[in-house]
Amino acid sequence: MTMKIRTLMAMALPVVALALTPSAAVGQSYTGNWPLTVTQSHRGNGTYCLTLKDDGILGWPHSGEALVVGQNLGPTTLDGTFQLIDGLLMVTILQPGGEQNSALLFIAPAAKGDVGKGVYEQVNGGEEMDSGLLVFGVKGGC
């Protein structure tokens, strides 16, 4: 009986070790800069540079601060936050909007450090003001 238990433990040990090893997807960081291109929008068309600091500060393993600059923003750098939840990258950038809360949203699927095509939206006072298609470029591309 003792021999069977030792055999089972010897067989189970590599499986347990593999299960406890972090996966490559978990270890992948989204820190860096990403070129963004917005098309088919009324006012937001153009190129932007998004900088992410992936430090988990918002409670999700991939989350943190975000900064964006772009041709439609002039010399201004706008800041906000990002989160990657269940394969969906959501970036919220605060935008000066007078008396109303305003934000630029960049949303796209993401996995293993890569980000796909998504959507852009500008929200002012809780209402959608503009939207368009979004393409993320290669990390480090701006």
Reported as a single tens digit per residue, the pLDDT across 48-91 is 999 999 999 999 999 999 999 987 777 789 999 999 999 999 99
Does some domain include residue 98? yes
Does some domain include residue 23? no
Does some domain include residue 83? yes
Does some domain include residue 62? yes
Does some domain include residue 87? yes
Cα gap 34→84, rounded to integer Å: 15
Give pTM, 2 decimals: 0.78
> Number of folded domains in the chain?
1
The enclosing domain of 79 has a CATH number of 2.40.128
Beta bridge partners of 117: 135
Higher pLDDT, 45 or 3: 45
The residue range of the domain holding 127 is: 28-136
- In tens, the pLDDT along 36-50 reads 999 999 999 999 999
Cα gap 102→83, rounded to integer Å: 18
What lies within 8 Å, CB to CB, of 60 at 6+ separation is: 83, 84, 85
Higher pLDDT, 73 or 2: 73
Does some domain include residue 17? no
